[in-house]
Amino acid sequence: SLIPSGSKWFKFSWNHYFVDEGIYPYDDTYDRWTELKNRYNINVYDWCRRGDNILLNCQKPGDSALNRLTYNNIDYKEYIVDLINKIKKVSDRPLVVRLHPKDNTLKKYLDTLFDNITYSDKTLYEDLNRAWCVVTYNSTSCVEASLYGTPTIVLDASAVSIPVSQTSLEQIEDNWEPCREQWLKRIAFMQWKGKELHDEYVWRLLKAVMPTHGPKIN
């Protein structure tokens, strides 16, 4: 069935939806994060390494989040193969590969190249409960991991959690407990429920970040 537009979530940014290329509006006079946290009972947990596994969170091939790889003629499956090999070189911790639930091709490919891959058959939070850290290119699961307090390594600058994530595999053993307050306040302005768009508030926010030298928009 169709979802009523008032219940859908919409993302608004200027120039691009990647967080390192686009400009997302922000209003420091409106504590939207606290409002959303209370409305949806969102918990923010202390940073905690709950286990010993390196959890590799994969994405669905063809996802627009992988556009930079595509533009550089990098096949995502080959990227993951290279990433697994690099992880094995920098750490001897157990590696758990968490496949995207809508992808049934990556496992078949990895099984032709590796004979000792451990795949997750757990929920995300069960995996986080036994994880030393999360590694991902830019899966949005990095947001959930960061909220849950699991140190996360993201390898693309467009990942939403990059302000509170590490960015190199060489940092797997490093202590990592950044403050998340400002990050949470800003990502609270990235998405809006359709029913919030009935007045002009969000549109005014967006217009405020548009270049002043551009065409006049009424």
Query: Largest alpha-carbon pair distance within the chain?
Result: 61
C-beta separation of 66 from 136 below 8 A: no
Is the pLDDT confidence value at 151 over 70? Answer: yes
Which pLDDT score is estimated for 213? 45
* Per-residue pLDDT tens over the stretch 113-149: 999 999 999 999 999 999 999 999 999 999 999 999 9
- Please name which of 51, 63, 71 lies closest in space to residue 125, comparing C-alpha atoms: 51
Strands (E) located in the chain: 9-11, 53-57, 95-98, 118-119, 131-136, 152-154, 191-193
Each residue's pLDDT tens digit, 156-198: 999 999 999 999 999 999 999 999 999 999 999 999 999 999 8
What residue has token string 């999360």? 134
Q: Is the Cβ–Cβ distance between 143 and 161 less than 8 Å?
A: yes
Is the separation of the CB atoms in 134 and 142 below 8 Å? yes
Residue 104: predicted pLDDT: 86
Residue type, position 204, single letter = R
Any residues with CB less than 8 A from the CB of 168 and at least 6 apart, and which? 153
Inter-residue contact 56 to 139 (CB < 8 Å): no
**pLDDT reported for residue 217:** 45
Q: Is the per-residue pLDDT at 17 higher than 70? A: yes
Report the half-sphere exposure of 148 (CA within 13 A, side-chain side): 21
Asked if residue 91 lies in contact with residue 135, where contact means CB atoms within 8 angstroms, the answer is no
Q: Are 215 and 32 in contact (CB under 8 A)?
A: no
Report the predicted TM-score, pTM, of the whole model to 2 decimal places.
0.91
* φ, ψ at 132 (rounded to 5°): -80, -40
Q: Is the dihedral of CA 23, 100, 142, 147 positive or negative?
A: positive
Q: What is the pLDDT of residues 24-83, one digit of tens each?
A: 999 999 999 999 999 999 999 999 999 999 999 999 988 889 999 999 999 999 999 999
Model confidence at 4, in pLDDT bands (50, 70, 90)? low
Other C-beta atoms within 10 Å of 120: how many?
18
pLDDT tens, 191-213? 999 999 988 999 999 999 988 74
